[in-house]
Amino acid sequence: MRILELLGEKIAKSSIFEMAFDRKDVEAKITSLSEPITEHLIKVLKWEDDTDKHKHLRDIDGWLYKVQRLKLRKNRKPTSHEYFEWLFTDVVQDEITLNRWIKGMHQYSTLPVSREDQEVFDIIKAIYYKVSFDLETNSFDTITNYYNFESKE
């Protein structure tokens, strides 16, 4: 009996068992995933941290794969506009919000800064804009396709 329970849990967690959700549920799931995605984007764009950079990028990929698997009722995907709104507009909002977010990340204050806050905001906005189109068409692969994270330019 325990084997059947474990097998059932494994199947329920797999991508084979995809569920469709109401629009408000998908929006809530994407918005909640956007917060750690954005925080990790800030970490890799704002500070020089070669020790954790690749881990942060892998984490971002994992969260965006989850976003890409979410479906609306009737097997529909959100539009690129909805993805952008839920990933960026609802969470980051504007430069002031991002600046406050960065200021709250005290644990990184000892690392060398690689970009100014405005540049970080502009890059994150551009990344989310491009990612939103690929999420809609189910063609997101990896975050490194949208920006050269190895470059400081």
CA distance 11 to 142: 25
Query: What does pTM read for this prediction?
Result: 0.84
Residue 22: the pLDDT is 82
Residues 6+ positions from 52 with CB-CB distance below 8 Å: 43
- pLDDT by residue, tens only, the chain of 153 residues: 555 555 555 544 444 445 667 888 999 999 999 999 999 999 999 999 989 999 999 999 999 999 999 998 888 999 999 999 999 999 998 999 999 999 999 899 899 999 999 999 999 999 999 999 999 999 999 999 999 988 665
Q: What is the CA radius of gyration of the chain?
A: 17
Give the strand pairing for 20-21 and 71-72: parallel
